[in-house]
């Protein structure tokens, strides 16, 4: 493989799963996916890096201003992600709505009390992972927005629930339920927590099933945008079987070897 671009290298380090799926895109489309995924990493890392919400909001506004430049049609900021993002936005005529939705949703990462309820979390997952999947699908020439949003929501649910143990140990209450979070952090089980995780995982799997039901109606060249679907479905299925403790969620992800093997098979066949 030739040397990676700055966006490609950022995605390889920061989001290995999406990096591997992007490798199955045609070479001339790969950099566009790297730019979108690198943009996602840039806005996702804002909240963990800032000491005050106001600083985070300023950095999110920087990205909104960058989009103004990109969609304004003129020159853009000299930045290793902004310039490649501009290239894929303009060459693929990507809509601005999903990019704005993704930035706005990352503002909730600055709120220590988020999520307040299941509806808020659902909207967040659709606006983050759902929007990103929609953009990736369009960058590959597809037009099935609803299918992409369903697939992305399911992927986002699996990723989010897998991150819940780490979020909880940092002091947050990342699942909206009346759980005993202190007991959960000490390794104990909680019925309210298990019920809500089961409900979230079930909704995620239903969303993935809707996406899979319509996959025959979309062009095969968009497959790299959806190659994480099988992995997400396996993770969510495991969480529905067992999710009473934080450790249960941490153990739901497949081994890296199995994930890589499955990803290669899916990538070669284009089946998801």
Q: Convert the pLDDT of each residue in 190-236 to its tens digit.
A: 999 999 999 999 999 999 999 999 999 899 999 999 999 999 999 99
Give SS3 for 197: helix
Of the pLDDT bands very low, low, confident and very high (cuts 50, 70, 90), residue 57 is very high
Q: Which distant-in-sequence residues (6+ apart) come within 8 Å of 6 by Cβ?
A: 38, 80, 81, 84
Domain containing residue 30: 1-111
Average pLDDT, the chain: 94
Contact status, residue 135 vs residue 36, Cβ threshold 8 Å: yes
Task: For residues 120 and 98, state if they share a domain.
Answer: no
Q: Count structural domains, the chain.
A: 2
Task: For residues 197 and 177, state if they share a domain.
Answer: yes
Task: For residues 133 and 224, state if they share a domain.
Answer: yes
Q: Residue holding tokens 């095969």?
A: 220
Distance CA 110, CA 37 (A): 21
Determine the pLDDT at residue 252: 82
Distance CA 224, CA 269 (A): 11
The helix (H) or strand (E) run that includes residue 172 is: none
Contact status, residue 247 vs residue 190, Cβ threshold 8 Å: no
Q: Cis (ω within 30 of 0) for the bond into 115?
A: yes
Task: For residues 103 and 148, state if they share a domain.
Answer: no
**Which one, of 143, 144, 64, lies nearest residue 102 by Cα?**
64
Q: Which of 53, 80, 111 is the last residue of a domain?
A: 111
Of the pLDDT bands very low, low, confident and very high (cuts 50, 70, 90), residue 259 is low
Alpha helix positions (H), 93-222? 97-106, 118-125, 131-139, 145-169, 181-185, 191-213
Determine the pLDDT at residue 270: 66
Contact status, residue 141 vs residue 219, Cβ threshold 8 Å: yes
Distance CA 251, CA 90 (A): 41
Q: In this predicted structure, which of 141-145, 147-151, 160-164, 250-254 has the lowest mean pLDDT? A: 250-254
Of the pLDDT bands very low, low, confident and very high (cuts 50, 70, 90), residue 264 is low
**Which one, of 157, 254, 243, 149, lies nearest residue 204 by Cα?**
157
Task: For residues 54 and 66, state if they share a domain.
Answer: yes
Tokens of 4: 């990676």
Q: Which of 79, 111, 143 is the last residue of a domain?
A: 111
Q: Which of 69, 96, 111 is the last residue of a domain?
A: 111
Task: For residues 249 and 170, state if they share a domain.
Answer: yes
Distance CA 89, CA 69 (A): 12
The stretch 135-162 carries a mean pLDDT of 97
% of the chain beyond a pLDDT of 70: 94
């Amino acid at each position: 493989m030739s040397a990676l671009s700055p966006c490609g290298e950022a995605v390889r380090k920061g989001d290995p799963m999406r990096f591997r799926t992007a490798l199955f895109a045609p070479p001339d489309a790969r950099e566009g996916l790297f730019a979108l995924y690198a943009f996602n990493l840039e806005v996702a890392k804002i909240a963990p890096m800032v000491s005050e919400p106001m600083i985070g909001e300023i950095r999110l506004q920087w990205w909104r201003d960058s989009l103004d430049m990109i969609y304004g049609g003129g020159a853009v900021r000299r930045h290793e992600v902004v310039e490649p993002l501009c290239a894929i936005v303009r060459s693929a005529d990507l809509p601005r709505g999903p990019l704005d939705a993704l930035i706005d949703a990352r503002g909730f990462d600055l709120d220590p009390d988020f999520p307040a309820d299941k509806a808020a979390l659902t909207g967040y997952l659709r606006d983050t992972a759902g929007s990103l999947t929609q953009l990736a699908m369009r960058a590959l020439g597809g037009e099935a927005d609803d299918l992409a949003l369903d697939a992305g929501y399911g992927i986002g649910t699996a990723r989010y629930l897998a991150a819940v143990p780490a979020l909880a140990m940092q002091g947050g209450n990342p699942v909206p339920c009346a759980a005993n979070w202190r007991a959960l952090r000490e390794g104990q089980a909680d019925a309210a927590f298990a019920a809500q995780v089961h409900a979230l995982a079930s909704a995620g799997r239903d969303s993935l099933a809707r996406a899979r039901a319509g996959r025959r109606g979309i062009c095969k060249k968009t497959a790299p945008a959806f190659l994480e679907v099988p992995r997400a479905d396996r993770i969510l299925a495991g969480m529905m079987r067992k999710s009473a403790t934080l450790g249960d969620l941490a153990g739901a992800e497949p081994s890296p070897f199995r994930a890589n093997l499955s990803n290669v098979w899916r990538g070669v066949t284009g089946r998801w």
